[in-house]
Amino acid sequence: MTLTVPAVDTMATGVPIELEDLVDPHGRPPSNHAYSRFCAFLSKASLMLAVAMLITIIVCVQYQVIGRYVFNDTPTWAEGLALQLVLYVTALGVAVGVRDAGHIGLDSLVVLLPESLRLKIEILIHALVALFGGIMTWSGWVWTTLKWSDIKPMMGIPVGLDYLALVIAGLLIVFFSIEHIVALLRDEEVVPAWN
């Protein structure tokens, strides 16, 4: 059963706007093939892990403040761990932002193009984002291997772990960009994992 909604007349332009156009401008069905479900799982797991890391950051900072001002014994590892976790929360957040189309885009200009050209531009944008993710993965891996033998004095872990966050984010960005390209070619829409 379909619900027919009458057109809404805008006072500013006098042009009728269909309510369906406001809800989903493309009218594409959600992407539900195996690769899309895999990417949705990765995205949701990344979000859950990022939230757990954010809670850990809050606990670390509170532990450090209590240690410094209540017990007069500053736990030096707490600040190092919080800073380390900030890198991974940021990396996971950036990758999920790419999947959920929360990254910076020029949608306002692309929407004005004809449908055939708009599809090509959208695929190009996602291909360029995938290229960026690939470069991020490669350069992050280079720095991870270069700095793995250096040890952080406050925590006793390799400095290369800082750059491993770039590798993880880059790989996820590549996966999610490919998902968007596949969805565009199949005339489907990638639904955010948190919906």
Identify whether 14 is part of a domain.
Answer: no
Q: Which of 22-26, 125-129, 169-173 has the lowest average pLDDT?
A: 22-26
CB 84 within 8 A of CB 162: yes
Region for 187 from its dihedrals, namely left if φ exceeds 0, alpha if ψ lies in -120 to 50, beta otherwise:
left
Region for 125 from its dihedrals, namely left if φ exceeds 0, alpha if ψ lies in -120 to 50, beta otherwise:
alpha
What distance in Å separates the CA atoms of residue 36 and residue 191, rounded to the nearest whole number?
A: 9
Identify whether 190 is part of a domain.
Answer: no
State which residues form the domain around 92: 31-185
Q: Which of 130, 121, 128, 161 is nearest to 144 (CA)?
A: 161
Identify whether 24 is part of a domain.
Answer: no
- Return the structure tokens found at 95: 């990758």
CB 29 within 8 A of CB 189: yes
Query: Number of structural domains, the chain?
Result: 1
Q: Which of 2-16, 113-127, 162-176 has the lowest average pLDDT?
A: 2-16
Which tens digit of pLDDT belongs to each residue from 87-116? Answer: 999 999 999 989 887 655 555 677 777 887
Which tens digit of pLDDT belongs to each residue from 18-69? Answer: 434 433 455 678 778 889 999 999 999 999 999 999 999 999 999 998 988 8
Work out the pLDDT band at 3, boundaries 50, 70, 90. very low
Identify whether 195 is part of a domain.
Answer: no
Identify whether 193 is part of a domain.
Answer: no
- The average pLDDT across 136-164 equals 93
What distance in Å separates the CA atoms of residue 168 and residue 156, rounded to the nearest whole number?
A: 22
Percent of the chain with pLDDT over 90: 49
What distance in Å separates the CA atoms of residue 195 and residue 193, rounded to the nearest whole number?
A: 6
Q: Which of 100, 80, 129, 126 is nearest to 40 (CA)?
A: 100
pLDDT attached to residue 10: 47
Identify whether 6 is part of a domain.
Answer: no
State the sign of the Cα–Cα–Cα–Cα dihedral 94, 128, 105, 37: negative
